[in-house]
Structure 1
């Protein structure tokens, strides 16, 4: 009887162990680091629907993830740029966000955070600290809504103020590439004396002068901290330091730094004017790299070099900086949990991690991730600009921080200065517009 009882107890113990083992094998692994083989459904939305190299690179990264993760049933929707914001806003209103979605840095991502629609991707930063540490300074500033938490990782750099210059024209006329304001004004005079436009500008759409020139120029005069205080109402755009910054822009206008009719031609026309050798310099963003790659001949591009705007003697800002900031990145829905969350984090890392950043950079698109592209298949002009960006600090683009009304005010104000307006008047209008937004 005792032997039979012992046998029964032993069998029960064995069955219990087998059951526990099977149960353990079927449990969902909730930790991101361990991954999971559980079948999950995942949705991802983005606006990389075009035929440009960057769009193809991002879609390729998503396809690679899909092939490498057969346990994930991935519904990927590429929505054209024109309709993307509206589609996201529509599903946001119903709290039906896709698991992973592309979001712009700044006001859009802030709105989604404020509405409780996002959850942090901080587990990726904790799991891959070297990856997080390899981003440029400030890369996460517009995605860090609470201390110690990040809600996306940028897959682009919105760089707006590279100084492009034609080295052949500089050498022909014995002009030094300017590193100070004094040298810049000397270069403006020499090129004008020789019948060459110093700086090409197409400001028909009035954001251009603000985005490409003013952000860097004003930062060199006021410093970044002053600007951020002025945005919050802790300093005034009527302060002498900002009026002085606008005065520097007026100095360019008064000394005929720009071609005649700069307010009546667009940025693309200005790019063509520059690349055809009619202007010695152009201050513009990373988009010019893409445009010139598509429209200019190798012979036209060969003499073009890239640097930063010169320092301003006595200014409070740093030299060697470019205006810009983080582009968009992929965010994680607050409602995505369990195995789907683990898969979503893996997907975000597949696009935003080192391999993804390199693939996007090799599509001749600016990223905020440091790497060596010397041996990569990128255009020579892009490589020059990329290396400048990796060494440069990033300063704010004005309209990315100002209220919509204030952004419109400074855009129009720079056009006014180009037509003879006074810096003091423009500063007053800007201050009034920004003050109205901070009082709401």
Structure 2
């Protein structure tokens, strides 16, 4: 008499409200049905329960087989050093994850030549704009810096004293500009050279990026008092049609749909054009967390199979998009099938359009030490106030970076050993 084979049971931990069904519950159910011999169970808990319980559970060998966790400086180092997470390099090559995970994400989730996490929850940034205002003033979406300058001049002549809203009072919105602009001037390699090698924030491309930012501020692009306006006030003005443009991310879309109502169709997104001749557009991509597998899990292959289902199949990618979670990698095929707001499709199509150029971090402030973040936030306000030069700003950045680097507070060098 034949006996039924035992099921492989995988426990997955994710953050969220206990008892609420998440996209991961739905994906687990669909995956279980497709496999038959695998049972994935998703455990959801808030961070005040999840975070304190995770490392003790992993250390006891009783934690989840698969879980999400941060990828910023210092966060995964203890897990890696303690052997609490599995090396995913073999899976990366075996399942051709390189076709899905951009190199810019790989360097954020790898160290010592090995991959430790599958990047999760991608965010990007772009120039949100009011197409009705553009049309009323005869402005086409700019594709060169000269066209960008002309668009801003036309808007100012039309009476818009803040052509591009910045929300400098809250400091962090200006850092989105810094991340994008430094990435444009230095390229992915230049950013990685500072983060993981011997490059310095005082290198010429970073100074040039901040000089362009200073020039934009001096010319009134961000309005007469950019550090007097907070993010909430700015977005209210943007959705009301009083500010034509603002550089931000897709997290504003749901609020925009509510605020603008039927006028939401007036809004779209474009990539800020190259600042210099010959410069490439690099989409900004950052991840909020990564997927890790417990180091002593007996179900690594099954956990990898679930990762592949979530991130490599059309079904999984569409489900994530419909839930508002953006998976790493090319999105064009999944976007065509997903049920997302038009504005969300716009920004991710814009990001996808330039993906072959290589991505740069959308949020340098999330992958650099907090001490450097404080310096950059204050320094960006000082540039906007015209009390600090680009050279002084980048020198302060480098000084804070060197202190953190000497103390071992930066991300471990990324990149994979070839196989």
Q: TM-score, normalised by structure 1?
A: 0.79
3-state SS of paired residue (1:156): strand
Distance 1:58 1:273, change over 3 A: farther
Secondary structure in 2 matching 1:282: strand
Match of 1:322 in 2: 283
1:418 equivalent in alignment to 2:384? yes
User: CA distance change for structure 1 residues 433 and 96 in 2, over 3 Å: closer, same or farther?
Assistant: farther
- 8 Å contact from structure 1 (residues 178, 310) kept in 2: yes
| Alignment check: 8 A CA contact 1:189 1:255 kept | no
C-alpha change, 1:238 and 1:51, in structure 2 (3 Å) is farther
Cα RMSD between the aligned structures? 3.1
Distance in 2, Cα, partners of 1:72 & 1:240: 54
For 1:7-406, list aligned pairs within 5 A. Answer: 37-49=5-17, 56-66=22-32, 75-81=41-47, 84-92=50-58, 96-107=62-73, 108-122=75-89, 124-125=91-92, 128-129=95-96, 133-147=99-113, 149-159=114-124, 161-196=125-160, 197-210=162-175, 212-232=176-196, 234-293=198-257, 295-314=258-277, 318-337=279-298, 340-354=299-313, 355-370=315-330, 371-372=332-333, 373-393=335-355, 394-396=359-361, 397-406=363-372
Q: Does 1:439 find its partner at 2:406? A: yes
Q: Which runs of 4+ in 1 moved over 4 A?
A: 66-75, 92-96, 122-127
Partner Cα distance (2:109, 2:337) in 1: 32
Query: Which piece of structure 1 moves more, 282-291 or 42-51?
Result: 42-51
Equivalent residues of 1:152, 1:330 under 8 A apart: yes
In the alignment of these two chains, the number of paired residues is 397
Offset of residue 46 of structure 1: 0.5
Distance in 1 between residues matched to 2:28 and 2:170, nearest whole Å: 35
User: Quick check: 1:97–1:117 contact (8 Å CA) kept in 2?
Assistant: no
CA distance in 2: counterparts of 1:345 and 1:240, whole angstroms: 42
TM-score with structure 2 setting the length: 0.83
Q: Deviations over 1:37-77 (max 9, x none)?
A: 3244432211143899xx73223212334555676565532
**Gap runs ≥5 in structure 1:** 1-21, 27-35
2:280, 2:236 → 1: CA distance? 28
Contact 1:409–1:433 under 8 Å retained in 2: yes
Q: Which has the larger radius of gyration?
A: 1
Measure how far apart 1:311 and its partner are: 0.3
Instruction: Evaluate the alpha carbon distance shift between residue 209 and residue 91 of structure 1 in structure 2; reply closer, same or farther with a 3 A threshold.
Output: farther
- 1:304 is displaced (CA, Å) by 1.3
Structure 1 residues 146, 257: closer, same or farther in 2, change over 3 A? same
The secondary structure found in structure 1 opposite 2:71 is coil
Select the structure with the greater relative contact order (CA < 8 A; seq sep ≥ 6). Answer: 2
Structure 2 unpaired stretches of 5+: 408-419
Q: Distance in 1 between matches of 2:233 and 2:18?
A: 23
User: Deviation of residue 92 (structure 1)?
Assistant: 5.0
